[in-house]
Structure 1
Amino acid sequence: MEHFGFLPMIVLVGVFLTGSVYSRSPAVVNVGAIFTQNSVIGRAAKVAMEAAVSDVNADPTILKGTKLRFITDDANCSVFLGSVGAFRLLEKGVVAIIGPQSSAIAHMISEIANGLQVPLVSYAATDPTLSALQFPFFLRNTQSDAFQMAAMADLIDFYEWKEVIAIFVDDDYGRNGISALDDELHKRALKIAQKLPLAIQFDLDNITDMLNKSRLLGPRVYVVHVGPDPKMRLFTIAQKLQMMTSNYVWLATDWLSVTLDSFSPMTESSLQILQGVVGLRQHTPESIRKRAFVSRWGKMLDEGLASSELNTYGLNAYDTVWAVAHSIDNFVKEHRNITFSFNDKLLKMNPSKIQLNKLKVFDGGSILLEKLLETSFTGLSGQVQFNQDRNIVSGGYDVINIDQMAVHMVGYWSNSSGFSVLPPENIKSEENSYSHLHQKLNMVTWPGGSMERPRGWEIADNERPLRIGVPNRASFVEFATKLHNNLNMQGYCIDLFIEARKLVPYDVPYRFEPFGDGHSNPNYDNLVKMVADEVSKNI
C-alpha cells in the first residue's frame, strides 16, 4: 500500500569488502534501509526489520559465520531523497535492496536496480504497473493492487451495485490502483461513474469541494484509495456534509485497515466517524509464530522499543528480511565469492559527492535473483513464495466492517473461492467455487446503522433529470407526438409512462427529448444507438 503510515522503506543488503573478490564467506553483510521515518508504515516496518535482523543473526542455521549489519537512511517520502539514499548505500557494495514502501520511489529505484543488477524486494509498493517485464530485478513481497482491486470489484458485484465513484490520491499508487479497479469492474459489466483525484498533500478544502461536486451525481457508492490517514480527514468532512447516512456506501482499500491496526485502539470519535464503512485487509493466517511475535511486539511497546502497533506491512517487512537472508545464504553456500565490476560508462563520469564513478555492477545479481525467486517458507504473514510475475503468492483479503466503535470481521476473499466466512486456508480445494451461489459474508452494518443493503444510487436532482428520447413521428401521432410550440409530449405511450411513474416509491425528475423533425419518421436504429452510446447532443 503506500503512504500508509509506513515509511517508504528501502532496505539495502550489502557487504563490506576488503577486496573485490572473496575466497570465503563474508564476515559481514550490510543491510540498509531507506524509509520515511515519520510515517504509519515506516514506524512499524523499521522495528519489524530490526527484529528480523536480530533473529537472523541469532539463528545458527543461517548465514553461518556471517553477520547482517543494519544501516538506515530517511527518504522523507521523496523520490529524489530516496534515490540519493539508495546511491549512498549502493556505494557500500549492496547485493540486494529491501523496499521501498512508496510506488513512486520504487519506479525510480527499480531503474537503478536494473542498471546495477541488484535485486529489489518491496514489502509495501502495491502499484500494479511495477511489472516484471519492465523491472526484471523487482520483486514484491506484498499483494499487488491488481489483486486487491479484483477483490474490491467482486465486493461491489456481490452487493449488486452497478456504478461507483472512485476517490484516490493523484500519484502512481492512486492512479494505477484505480485504473486496475476500472479494468476489473469492466470485466463484470460494472463501471466507475466518476474518478475524483486528490492532491498528494490534500487539505480539508480540497476534500469538501470534491465531495460537494460528487453529490450532483447519481451513484452513492464510494471507493476510497488513498494513503494511511490517522486523522480520517475524508470521512470527517463526509460526516459534516451528511454523507455518512444510510443512503451512502463507503468502501476502503487496505489503507484504512493499516491505519486502524497501527493506532489501535483508535479514539472513540474516529471510530464513530467510520460507522458503517467496509474495508479490505491483507489476510495473514493465524499461526503459533505470528501469535508469539504479536506478544513480543506488545512487550516492545511496553518497553518503548516500538512506537506503533503492528500491522500487515510490518509482518511483510519482517518476512522480507528473512527471504533476502535465505537467498544470500544459499548464494554464499554455492558460490562463496561476491564480486562487483565497474561500469565503463560510470567510470567516465566526473566525480561527485555521490561518487557515481565508484558504483559497481553486482556480478552475481542474476544468480541472487534466481535464489529469491526460489524462496519458499512460512513466515509471519503466511507463505512467502513468488509467482511468475514476481509477486507474492497471495493469501487473499479480510473483509472488515466498522460498527459500534469496533472493527468486525465479516468474511474473507480469495481468488479461488471468492467470499466466504471461513479463512482461505480452511477451505478445502474441492469446495472452491467462484460463483454467486457459493459466496457468503456475515451481516454488515452500513452507514447510519442500517442493516439493509443500501440501494447505492439516487436520482439526480432537477438540474440533471432523467432524459427520455421520444420519436417525434409524422405518422401514428396518437402514440406519441410533440405539442406545438413547446417540448411537451402527449399520446398513449406518454400516458403509460406517467402512470407507471406513479408506482415508483420515490420521485423521478424527467424530461422528454423529441427525436426527429415531425415531418418524417425518425430512424429508430439511430435513436437506440445514441442511447447505448450515451450521446445526447442530437436529441
Structure 2
Amino acid sequence: MGCGGVLWFLLVLATGFGVFAGAVRPAVVSIGAVLTYDSVIGRVAKVAIEAAVADVNANASVLGGTRLNLVMRDANCNVFLGSAAALSVLEHDAIALIGPQSSAIAHMISSISGGLQIPLVSFAATDPTLSSSQFPLFVRMAHCDSYQMAAMADLIEYFGWRQVIAIYVDDDYGRNGIYYLDDELAENMSKMYKIALPVKATRNKIIDLLQKSKTLGPRVYVVHATPDSGLNIFSVAEQLHMMTDEYVWLTTDWLSTVLDTSQSAASNSISYLQGVVSFRQHIPRSNQKEAFVSRWGELQKEGLVSLNLSTYGFFAYDTVWATAYAINDFLNEYENITFSSNSYLQSIKGKMQLGMLKTFDGGNLLIKKLLLLNFTGLSGQIQFDGDKNLISRMYEIVNVRGSVTNRVGYWSNHSGLSISLPENLLIKRPKNLSLNQVLGRITWPGGKTETPRGWVVASNERPLRIAVPNRASYLEFVRVTNGGDMENVSGYCIDVFKEIIKLIPYEVPYKFVPIGNGQTNPNYDELVNMVVQHVVDAAIGDIAIVTSRSRNSDFTQPYICTGLVILAPIRSIKSSAWVFLRPFTVGMWCVTGAFFFVIGVVIWLLEHRVNSDFRGSPTRQCITMCLFSFSTPFQSQQEEILSTLGRFVMMVWLFLLMVITSSYTASLTSFLTVQQLSSPIKGIDSLIASNEPIGYQEGSFARSYLVDGLNVRPSRLVSLGSPEAYKEALERGPKNGGVAAIVDELPYVELFVAKTSGFGIIGQSFTRNGWGFAFPRDSPLAIDMSTAMLKLSENGELQRIHKKWFCNASCIVTSGINSEPSQLHFSSFWGLKVGAGFTGRITSLQSQSDTELIGFFDNLSPLHGLHHRNNPQSPGPRHCLNRFHAILRAARNLPISSRKKTVLFLFSKLAYKGILPLRRRHAILSFPLGRRFQVSNLFCCIKISFQRSDSFGGCFRMLHRRR
C-alpha cells in the first residue's frame, strides 16, 4: 500500500556514531517494529512478534548470547504517522525494521530505512512494486501480490470467464495489484473493467459505484481491498441484490484473513458472503506449526489475545527469526555494529532532533545475509529469489459456505490449480500438469453449484440493440418493412440469427435497429463502426468479415463462405468439326508430330543393321520408319524390335505416349461433355489490365478492395444498386456507358445468375472470406453465438434455412445454359467422319483400278508365252510385237493411272525378254503417259526386269504388293 515522498530529506546520512564493544559481540541488539495495533493483521502480528523475540532470547544458540531488544511503535494505519513511528524507532539505534503490514506505509518507511541503510523486513506488505530496485533494502516475508494475481487469473480462466470487473482500493496496494491482474488476464485474452474505490469511501459512494457496474455487462467481480472497505462492499452488494446466482464474487486473501482471525466479524458478515471465493496463503503442515497453534490457544484461554491466529501471524513470527539468523551471521563476520553521522542532519535546527538519526554501516551486509537464509519456519521453507521474494508461493482457494469457509483447492507457482497439496506435487512432479487442473465443488452466490455464466448481455429494461441493414436490393438476405419491429424484419440472415439465439443457453432480450433509408444500400463499414462506438450492441446481416472491420470488433464464426468474384456476359461455344484438335495447342501438335518422326528415325538407326524388317529400298525404309512410329499408339506395327537399345527407347516412348493419350482423352472429354463458355474477361488480372469500367455493389467492401488492394483507379469504378442496374450496365457494355464486368460477393452473384440469363461467373473467387455478425471487442456473446452457429451447422438447420431462401422452385431459373452438356452431337464429329469417308473412297477407287488392270493383263493370252523364252511353241518376236501394238491401242481406253501401269509393265516385260528393239523404244517413250512418267519409266523397267512372274497379270500383282 503505497506512499508519498514527503520526507525525503530524512534519508540523508546521519551524524554521530556508536560502537558496541570493539571485538566482542554486543550484549544487546535493537530491532524495530512498526505496525497498526488496531487492525486485524496488526493485533495478531504484535503478539506473534513479541512471542518470537521471547523465543529467540530464550535460545542462547541463536545469537550466541546476544539478546534482541524490540522497539515497537504504532503506525495508526497512516502514512505520515507510520513514518514518524519509524523515525522514533531508528533513534534507538535499531539495525533492522519489521513491518509494516500496510503497503502504502511500507513505501514511505522503505525510503527512510534505505537512506539510513537499515533493512526493512515486512511480513504483510504485498505490493509488487516494493520488490523493485528502488527499494534495495526491502525484503518481503509474505507472498507477493503478483503471484496472487497470477492465481486469480488462472482461476478466472479455469471457469472460462472472459470479462471481469475489478473493485480495488485506490492506493498503491490496490492499484499495483490490479494492474498485475490486468496483465495476467490480457495474456489469456480476457478483459477487465476497473472500479477504483476511495480509501475511505462512504456507503453512498459504494452504492453509486456498484450501480454503475451493473451496466457494464460482466457479472464476475474481483475485490482487492482492505478488510474494512471490502466488507462494506459486500454489505452494499447484498442490499442491491447482487449476491444472487447471476453474480460471481472473488476476493484476494484479505477476506480469508478476516474470517480466520475475527469471529465477531465472521459472524456479522457471513450472511452476505455466501458463495464468495477467496484466496488464503498456504502454510504446509509441520510439528512447529501445530505447536505454535496450540500455544496460541493457551494465550487465548489466558485472555492475552482475543483473535484467532492467521497466516500473517506465522509470517510475523518467522520474520523475527529470519532477522535473528541474519544478525547472527552478520556478527560472525563483522562483529562490530557501527553507525555514522551526517553533518547535514546535525545542522538542521529545531525540536525534531534529526541529528540523533544515524546510518547503519553494516546495512548492506546484513541484507545480504538475510537474503542468503535457508531454513524452515512456521510458514514453511524460508528462502528468497532474486527479487527478494519467497521462492515457494502457494495459496489455498476457499469458498464461503454456510458458517464456515471450505477449502476447494490449491494454487502454486509450479503446479497451478489442484486439489492436491502443492508440496506433494512439488515432490512427485506429475508429467502432465494440465490434467491436474481441477477444483472441488463450489457453491456460488444463490446456492447453486453450476458455474455461473459470469455476464449478462441485456435485460428486459434494456434489450440488446441489434443493427440490421435496411437494403434496397437483394432483399432475400435482409428485408425491412414498415420500421424495425421484430415481425417486420426478415430474410436469410435474420432467420440464421433467430435460430442461433434459440441455441444460446440463456435469455437474450433484443430489438432490431434498421440502418439505412431503404432506397440505397447502407455502407457496411459505417455499420460496423457503430458497433465499435457502442451506438448499437451488435450488427447482423450480410456483413463480410474483412481485416479492416475485425481490427476493432469481434465477429462470430462465418455462417456462409463467400468471396469476391467477377460477373460478366458470357456466350456458349458451339462444338465444331475440329474440336478434336482443341485439346492440344499448335505448338503441342508440332512437338508431338516431331517426336513421332524422331522416334521413327532413332528406331531405324538402331534396328536397320540387325533387323531385316527395316531393310529394303530407300522408299520402303522411309515408309517403314514412318509407319512404325505412327502406328505405335495403336499397336499395329508388324516389325519386331531386336536390339536392347531399341527396346529401351520403345519403353520410354510408350510411357510418353500413355501420358499424352491419357491427357488428350481427358481434355477432349471435357470439351465434348462440359459446356464451354466464352467471355472476353478471363480473370481479375485481365479485367484490371483492360482499363475498362468495373461495376460494384453499392455499400460493399469491393470498392475499397479494388482501390486499396488491387490499385484500380477510382475513376474506373461504377456503383450499382440493384440487379436491374447490373443487367443494364452489362448489356450496354463499356463502349456504351456500361461496364465490362462487375466485382461482387459470391452469394449476390449466384442469386443474380440464377435469375438472369446470359451472364456467368468468370473464374474462381479471388478472395476468401465469409459473412458473420459483428460485436464489440471481447464480447462474450460473440463466443457463445459462434458456438451456437457451429451447432446449427452440425444439425443441418443452417442448410435448411439456405434451401428455404435460395433453393425453392421460384428461384431455379435457367440462365440459357444447356442443362445436359454430356449429350454429344454430330456437329462435333463430322470433320472426322468426312475425313474417314474420303480416305475410304480413295482407297476403294485405287483398289478397283488395280483389279481391272490385273484382269486386263490376265486376258492377254497371246502374250502368255513371252515368259518362256526357250519354249519352242511360243510365238515369234514379230508376232509378239504386233500383239504389243494391239495392247497399246487397247490401253488408250484405260484411265490415265491404269494406262501408265499397262505401258510400264509391257515395256519392262519386253525389255526383260530382250524382244524389244531399240528402234521401237520411241513408241513407248512417245506414248501419251505424261512427262513425269516418261522420265521415271526407265527406272521402273530396270527394277521390274529383275523380277520374274508367270504372266503380265502376275507381274502386276507382285509390283502392286511391293507398292
TM-score by length of 1: 0.90
Worse-superposed segment, 445-454 or 279-288: 445-454
Q: Structure 2: how far apart are the matches of 1:88 and 1:512?
A: 69
Aligned to 1:368: 366
Q: Structure 1: how far apart are the matches of 2:505 and 2:248?
A: 21
CA shift, 1:230, in A, is: 9.7
Q: Is the 8 A contact 1:376 1:384 kept in 2?
A: yes
Aligned with 2:425 (options 421, 424, 427): 427
Residue identity opposite 2:353 in structure 1: Q
Paired residue secondary structure (2:61): coil
Q: Structure 2: how far apart are the matches of 1:485 and 1:447?
A: 42
Residue identity opposite 2:553 in structure 1: V
Q: Is the 8 A contact 2:259 2:266 kept in 1?
A: no
Aligned with 1:479 (options 459, 477, 482): 477
Superposition pairs of residues 493-512 of structure 1, within 5 angstroms: 493-504=493-504, 506-512=506-512
Q: Is the 8 A contact 1:472 1:522 kept in 2?
A: no
Aligned to 1:276: 275
Aligned to 2:96: 96
Q: Is the 8 A contact 1:143 1:391 kept in 2?
A: yes
CA shift, 1:482, in A, is: 5.2
Unaligned runs of 5+ in 2: 3-15, 526-543, 555-774, 778-963
Superposition pairs of residues 222-241 of structure 1, within 5 angstroms: 222-229=221-228, 232-241=231-240
Q: Is the 8 A contact 2:101 2:122 kept in 1?
A: yes
CA shift, 1:315, in A, is: 0.5
Residue identity opposite 1:360 in structure 2: K
CA shift, 1:520, in A, is: 6.9
Aligned with 2:357 (options 354, 359, 366): 359
Aligned to 1:33: 33
Superposition pairs of residues 185-334 of structure 1, within 5 angstroms: 185-192=185-192, 194-229=193-228, 232-264=231-263, 268-334=267-333
Q: Structure 1: how far apart are the matches of 2:407 and 2:369?
A: 37
Paired residue secondary structure (2:348): coil
CA 1:354–1:476 in 2, change beyond 3 Å: closer, same or farther?
Answer: same
CA shift, 1:96, in A, is: 1.2
CA shift, 1:202, in A, is: 2.3
Aligned to 2:551: 529
Kindly provide the CA deviation profile for residues 93-144 of structure 1, in whole angstroms up to 9, marking residues without a partner as x: 2211111111111111111122111111110001111123111111110111
Aligned to 1:159: 159
Q: Structure 2: how far apart are the matches of 1:74 and 1:257?
A: 24
Q: Structure 2: how far apart are the matches of 1:379 and 1:91?
A: 30
Instruction: Name the count of aligned residue pairs.
Output: 520
Kindly provide the CA deviation profile for residues 184-228 of structure 1, in whole angstroms up to 9, marking residues without a partner as x: 111111121x21222212232222222222222321111111112
CA shift, 1:85, in A, is: 1.2
CA 1:340–1:269 in 2, change beyond 3 Å: closer, same or farther?
Answer: closer
Whether 2:409 is the aligned partner of 1:411: answer: yes
CA 1:433–1:75 in 2, change beyond 3 Å: closer, same or farther?
Answer: farther
Q: Is the 8 A contact 1:34 1:74 kept in 2?
A: yes
Whether 2:402 is the aligned partner of 1:380: answer: no
CA shift, 1:245, in A, is: 1.6
Paired residue secondary structure (1:437): helix
Q: Is the 8 A contact 1:395 1:424 kept in 2?
A: no
Kindly provide the CA deviation profile for residues 374-404 of structure 1, in whole angstroms up to 9, marking residues without a partner as x: 0111001111111100011233100111112
Aligned to 2:665: none
CA 1:338–1:267 in 2, change beyond 3 Å: closer, same or farther?
Answer: closer
Aligned to 1:397: 395
Paired residue secondary structure (1:94): coil
Q: Structure 1: how far apart are the matches of 2:319 and 2:426?
A: 28
Aligned to 1:11: none
Aligned to 1:438: 436
Whether 2:108 is the aligned partner of 1:108: answer: yes
Q: Structure 2: how far apart are the matches of 1:448 and 1:522?
A: 43
Aligned to 2:42: 42
CA 1:21–1:343 in 2, change beyond 3 Å: closer, same or farther?
Answer: farther
Q: Structure 2: how far apart are the matches of 1:166 and 1:231?
A: 12
Aligned to 1:6: none
Aligned to 1:7: none
Q: Structure 2: how far apart are the matches of 1:265 and 1:32?
A: 31
Q: Is the 8 A contact 1:475 1:521 kept in 2?
A: no
Aligned to 2:455: 457
Residue identity opposite 2:425 in structure 1: I
Q: Structure 2: how far apart are the matches of 1:300 and 1:308?
A: 10
Larger Rg: 2
CA shift, 1:480, in A, is: 2.4
Residue identity opposite 1:409 in structure 2: R
CA 1:267–1:115 in 2, change beyond 3 Å: closer, same or farther?
Answer: closer
Aligned to 2:603: none
Kindly provide the CA deviation profile for residues 379-437 of structure 1, in whole angstroms up to 9, marking residues without a partner as x: 01111111100011233100111112111111111111111111111125453467543
Superposition pairs of residues 65-84 of structure 1, within 5 angstroms: 65-84=65-84
Q: Is the 8 A contact 1:417 1:433 kept in 2?
A: no
Kindly provide the CA deviation profile for residues 467-525 of structure 1, in whole angstroms up to 9, marking residues without a partner as x: 44545656534312555777975432123323433444543233445667835764553
Work out which structure has the larger RCO, using CA pairs closer than 8 Å and 6 or more positions apart in sequence.
Answer: 1
RMSD of aligned Cα (Å): 2.6
CA 1:63–1:133 in 2, change beyond 3 Å: closer, same or farther?
Answer: same
Q: Is the 8 A contact 1:217 1:460 kept in 2?
A: no
Residue identity opposite 1:342 in structure 2: S
Residue identity opposite 1:157 in structure 2: E
Worse-superposed segment, 466-475 or 26-35: 466-475
Q: Structure 1: how far apart are the matches of 2:506 and 2:420?
A: 39
Q: Structure 2: how far apart are the matches of 1:111 and 1:434?
A: 45
Whether 2:160 is the aligned partner of 1:138: answer: no
Residue identity opposite 2:340 in structure 1: S
Q: Is the 8 A contact 2:96 2:119 kept in 1?
A: yes
Residue identity opposite 2:336 in structure 1: N
CA shift, 1:268, in A, is: 4.3
Paired residue secondary structure (2:215): coil
CA 1:227–1:432 in 2, change beyond 3 Å: closer, same or farther?
Answer: farther
CA 1:302–1:23 in 2, change beyond 3 Å: closer, same or farther?
Answer: same
Q: Is the 8 A contact 1:472 1:481 kept in 2?
A: yes
CA 1:343–1:158 in 2, change beyond 3 Å: closer, same or farther?
Answer: same
Query: Which has more helix, going by share of residues?
Result: 2
Superposition pairs of residues 177-188 of structure 1, within 5 angstroms: 177-188=177-188
Q: Structure 2: how far apart are the matches of 1:502 and 1:191?
A: 26
Paired residue secondary structure (1:304): coil
Paired residue secondary structure (1:320): helix
Q: Structure 1: how far apart are the matches of 2:503 and 2:196?
A: 39
Q: Structure 2: how far apart are the matches of 1:137 and 1:474?
A: 72
Q: Structure 2: how far apart are the matches of 1:300 and 1:230?
A: 30
CA shift, 1:352, in A, is: 3.0
Q: Is the 8 A contact 2:475 2:491 kept in 1?
A: yes
Paired residue secondary structure (1:62): helix
Residue identity opposite 2:314 in structure 1: L
CA 1:200–1:174 in 2, change beyond 3 Å: closer, same or farther?
Answer: same
Worse-superposed segment, 392-401 or 433-442: 433-442
The percent identity for this pair of structures is 53
Q: Structure 2: how far apart are the matches of 1:288 and 1:222?
A: 38
Q: Structure 2: how far apart are the matches of 1:418 and 1:265?
A: 33
CA shift, 1:65, in A, is: 2.3
